[in-house]
Amino acid sequence: MPRRPGLIETTKEARAAERRSAEAPSTMRADGHDPIDVVVLDISRSGVRIVSDAVLSIGQEITIGLAGAGVTRAYVAWARAGEYGCAFERPIPPEDEAVAFSRAPVKRLGRAPVQPSNAGDEYLRDLYGRHRVWALPWDAVLMALAMIVLIVVLFRL
């Protein structure tokens, strides 16, 4: 596998990094696609072990949400029956590793139904009321001026 720029070395020290059990839901994106729900089984400063229904390839770049610590980029280091070991591009700071998945669980991402709203219409009415002079239909004003100029030119010929 070609080495990715910035990817941490998978040395004995990185593999031996202290792991902490997480057993927490999270969200991952692979190759810029839609978010995918995953479960983070454990986390260390150098990476995470996840379970996912997604099919990932070794070396594939992902971004993963670390509840309480933000989002970070990682690469799939190994795969086994829907379980993946992912190495962070850079080790996360100890304080981020300590707070990751230690607070309230992350809710699964879903598609929120879009509710029709008239808020935009109300905003435009309010804007028009406050800026009535500036809200003139300038294209109509310019068209009227063009017609006047045309009539004046025609009558002078």
**pTM score, two decimals?**
0.56
Determine the Cα–Cα distance for residues 67 and 94; give it in Å rounded to an integer: 15
Q: Tens-of-pLDDT digits for all 157 residues of the chain?
A: 444 444 444 444 445 568 888 888 889 998 878 888 999 999 899 999 999 988 999 999 999 988 878 888 999 999 998 899 999 999 988 888 877 877 645 445 555 555 555 666 676 677 666 655 555 566 778 889 999 999 999 988 7
- Domain range summary for the chain, segments of one domain joined by +: 12-99
Residue among 13, 29, 77 at smallest CA distance from 49: 77
Homologous superfamily, domain 12-99: predicted glycosyltransferase like domains (2.40.10.220)
